[in-house]
């Protein structure tokens, strides 16, 4: 193909992708949030043998749009409240496209000065809005599961080095035992991270929690020897925070490392009226959070923060010896991967477009919407199972069976989507308001639909 023809066809293809994307986002408002059974059935069109011959890229895109778009869940829309799934801020989606064209490898400064620089800037801004200690180091990873793993690898390094054991060189065979303390409400992904690190999913000391899911500091164990304490900022069901101040004081008195799983809760720090929730959290030694949840960047994007970047580098660096550092931060010295996509770009774009006040408004707005959901559902006679302090709401529509039938009805109705959870033995619907796009109107519309469905069923 001559150069100009090649450019033309690339232009046309990207135009087509942009138009299809814009159309997709536009029609999200008028379709059901869950894909229809018919749309899911259409996915069978993808089930074909690998073609022998090339296909025109526009035809490939057309197939993806025709059969793929309808079979998506409208998580990019305004009325999806399942799990804790954020949308994508306009600037982040656009940045994601441009970064896709750049196709940068973010592992090395020399491979992408722009990716490395934007990570550095984004890190500085993140430390600022999340109220973490200055100088904190970070790894840009896929999500909080990997962020927990990455930060806990730094923790493992540090507590064993204190015991004169080089875990990077020698592994855990023959190492002094490491005690791991978790709350009874720790997120399931934390245990996977512990398992991957050889710390064991089950060989943990579990601290009981109160009725909101918070670790009981009065039940905190006496500690000795190398110890990692994992606390939580933002329980996935209730939004509750472990009492960071007391736990960290006790843990540090015993020379233990404190790690915070703050997948979405850490963002409370960015909203002045919620910041009291993270009181004491900044005293910890490491933190994990998601950018794809509450910062509303496209999947996937998670962050591991470590107070002393040397502990992170020691656990992650390609060579066990500290490599001589240039004056620039070398991204792959802090991450489990070498080659990876440049996640810092969208994080930068989110923060650059929102600014401090925009971020605070987004977090605060989501929390206000959650409170309104709780009020509306309670007023309609349904039971709210949590104290709504953040963006998570738990509602029961009666017994387990009634609640399950209402959830299924709400999902089938399509106005909005929320999922099922179990909270301290009760089956509940969990509403998580996590998208920049959700408006008061959406909340009222969703509430009416939920109540209408519940009245018909329960
Ligand atoms: C979502 C969540 C995780 C897991 O995060 P991923 O990004 O899905 O890997 C861990 N901990 C808590 C508290 C969460 O809410």
Return the residue whose CA atom lies nearest to atom 7 of ligand 1. 143
Token output for 133: 């200690």
Token output for 242: 């472990």
Residue percentage of the chain with pLDDT more than 90: 95
Confidence band for 256, pLDDT divided at 50, 70 and 90: very high
| Tokens 């015991």 sit on residue | 163
For residue 421, how far is its CA from the centre of ligand 1 (angstroms)? 15
What b/e sequence results for 340-379 when a residue is b if at least 16 CB atoms lie within 10 Å of its CB, and e otherwise?
Answer: bbbbbbbbbbbbbebeeebbbebbbbbbebbbbbbebbee
The pLDDT of residue 4: 80
Which residue out of 192, 237, 290, 293 has the highest number of ligand 1 atoms within 8 Å of its CB and is therefore the one to mutate? 290
For residue 145, how far is its CA from the centre of ligand 1 (angstroms)? 6
Mean pLDDT in residue range 193-199 = 98
Confidence band for 3, pLDDT divided at 50, 70 and 90: confident
3 state SS of 332: helix
| Helix residue ranges per DSSP H, 396-458 | 400-413, 440-457
Q: Report the distance separating Cα 42 and Cα 196, nearest Å.
A: 38
What's the order of all strands across the beta sheet hosting 419-423? 383-384, 392-396, 426-432, 419-423
Angstrom CA distances, 340 to 115, 297, 337, stand at 11, 17, 7
Which residue out of 185, 214, 236 has the highest number of ligand 1 atoms within 8 Å of its CB and is therefore the one to mutate? 236
User: What are the pocket residues of ligand 1 if the criterion is a CB atom closer than 6 Å to any ligand atom?
Assistant: 84, 143-145, 187, 189, 234, 236, 261, 263-264, 290, 302
Which residue out of 83, 150, 187, 267 has the highest number of ligand 1 atoms within 8 Å of its CB and is therefore the one to mutate? 187
- Chain mean pLDDT for the chain: 96
Q: Report the distance separating Cα 436 and Cα 362, nearest Å.
A: 6
For residue 455, how far is its CA from the centre of ligand 1 (angstroms)? 33
Angstrom CA distances, 308 to 10, 137, 155, 286, stand at 46, 6, 10, 9
Low-confidence winner among 142-151, 275-284, 322-331, 377-386 (lowest mean pLDDT): 322-331
Confidence band for 320, pLDDT divided at 50, 70 and 90: very low
For residue 263, how far is its CA from the centre of ligand 1 (angstroms)? 5
Return the residue whose CA atom lies nearest to atom 14 of ligand 1. 263
For residue 144, how far is its CA from the centre of ligand 1 (angstroms)? 5
Q: Report the distance separating Cα 445 and Cα 447, nearest Å.
A: 6
Q: Which atom, in ligand 1's list, is nearest to the CA of 290?
A: 7
Strands 227-232 and 302-306, sheet pairing: unpaired
The HSE-up count of residue 419 (CA atoms within 13 Å, CB side) is 15
Vertex 355: Cα angle to 349 and 278 (nearest 5)? 105
Angstrom CA distances, 399 to 300, 373, 392, 430, stand at 36, 20, 20, 15
The pLDDT of residue 318: 87
Q: Are 317 and 333 in contact (CB under 8 A)?
A: yes
Which residue out of 85, 149, 189 has the highest number of ligand 1 atoms within 8 Å of its CB and is therefore the one to mutate? 189
Q: Are 244 and 279 in contact (CB under 8 A)?
A: yes
- Helix, strand, coil proportions of the chain in percent (round to 5)? 50, 15, 40
For residue 323, how far is its CA from the centre of ligand 1 (angstroms)? 32
Q: Are 292 and 86 in contact (CB under 8 A)?
A: yes
Task: Tell me the backbone φ, ψ of residue 418, rounded to 5 degrees.
Answer: -140, 155
pLDDT higher than 70, residue 245: yes
Return the residue whose CA atom lies nearest to atom 12 of ligand 1. 263
Confidence band for 394, pLDDT divided at 50, 70 and 90: very high
Return the residue whose CA atom lies nearest to atom 5 of ligand 1. 144
Residue percentage of the chain with pLDDT more than 70: 98
pLDDT higher than 70, residue 221: yes
Token output for 278: 């993270």
The pLDDT of residue 179: 98
For residue 189, how far is its CA from the centre of ligand 1 (angstroms)? 7
Q: Report the distance separating Cα 415 and Cα 405, nearest Å.
A: 16
Q: Are 97 and 307 in contact (CB under 8 A)?
A: no
Which residue out of 151, 261, 266 has the highest number of ligand 1 atoms within 8 Å of its CB and is therefore the one to mutate? 261
Neighbours of 274 (CB within 10 A): 21
Q: What dihedral do alpha carbons 192, 196, 200, 202 form, nearest 10°?
A: 20
pLDDT higher than 80, residue 50: yes
For residue 82, how far is its CA from the centre of ligand 1 (angstroms)? 13
pLDDT higher than 60, residue 356: yes
Q: Which atom, in ligand 1's list, is nearest to the CA of 187?
A: 11
Mean pLDDT in residue range 255-261 = 98
pLDDT higher than 70, residue 224: yes
Q: Which atom, in ligand 1's list, is nearest to the CA of 83?
A: 1
Closest CA to 65 of 7, 11, 22, 99: 22
Angstrom CA distances, 381 to 384, 406, 412, 426, stand at 9, 14, 22, 17
Confidence band for 322, pLDDT divided at 50, 70 and 90: very low
Token output for 373: 């959901």
In Å, how far from its chain's centre is CA 64? 26
């Amino acid at each position: 193909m001559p150069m100009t023809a090649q450019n033309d066809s690339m232009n046309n293809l990207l135009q087509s992708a942009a138009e299809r994307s814009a159309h997709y986002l536009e029609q999200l408002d008028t379709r059901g949030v869950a894909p229809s059974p018919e749309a899911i059935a259409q996915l069978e069109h993808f089930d074909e043998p690998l073609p022998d011959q090339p296909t025109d890229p526009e035809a490939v895109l057309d197939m993806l749009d025709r059969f793929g778009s309808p079979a998506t869940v409208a998580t990019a829309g305004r009325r999806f409240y399942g799990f804790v799934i954020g949308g994508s801020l306009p600037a982040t989606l656009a940045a994601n496209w441009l970064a896709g064209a750049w196709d940068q490898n973010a592992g090395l400064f020399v491979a992408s000065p722009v990716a490395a620089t934007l990570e550095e800037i984004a890190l500085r801004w993140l430390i600022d809005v999340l109220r973490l200690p200055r100088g904190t180091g970070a790894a840009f990873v896929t999500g909080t599961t990997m962020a927990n793993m990455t930060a806990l690898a730094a923790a493992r390094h540090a507590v064993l080095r204190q015991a004169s054991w080089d875990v990077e060189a020698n592994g855990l065979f023959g190492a002094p035992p490491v005690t791991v303390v978790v709350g009874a409400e720790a997120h399931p992904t934390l245990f996977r991270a512990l398992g991957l690190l050889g710390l064991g999913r089950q060989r943990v000391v579990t601290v009981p929690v109160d009725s909101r899911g918070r670790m009981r500091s009065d039940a905190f164990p006496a500690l000795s020897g190398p110890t990692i304490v994992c606390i939580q900022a933002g329980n996935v069901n209730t939004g509750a925070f472990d009492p960071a101040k007391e736990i960290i004081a006790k843990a540090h008195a015993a020379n233990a490392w404190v790690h915070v799983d703050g997948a979405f809760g850490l963002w409370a720090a960015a909203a002045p009226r919620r910041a009291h929730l993270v009181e004491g959290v900044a005293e910890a030694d490491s933190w994990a959070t998601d950018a794809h949840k509450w910062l509303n960047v496209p999947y996937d994007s998670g962050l591991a923060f470590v107070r002393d970047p040397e502990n992170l580098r020691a656990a992650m660096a390609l060579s066990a010896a500290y490599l001589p550092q240039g004056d620039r931060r070398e991204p792959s010295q802090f991450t489990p991967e070498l080659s990876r996509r440049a996640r810092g770009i969208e994080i930068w774009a989110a923060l650059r477009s929102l600014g401090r006040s925009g971020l605070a408004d987004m977090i605060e707005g989501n929390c206000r919407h959650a409170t309104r959901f709780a009020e509306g559902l309670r007023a309609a006679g349904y039971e709210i199972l949590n104290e709504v302090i953040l963006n998570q709401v738990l509602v029961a529509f009666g017994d387990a069976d009634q609640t399950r039938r209402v959830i299924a009805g709400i999902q089938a109705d399509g106005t909005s989507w929320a999922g099922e959870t179990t909270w301290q033995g009760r089956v509940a619907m969990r509403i998580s308001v996590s998208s920049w796009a959700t408006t008061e109107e959406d909340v009222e519309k969703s509430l009416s639909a939920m109540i209408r469905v519940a009245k018909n069923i329960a």
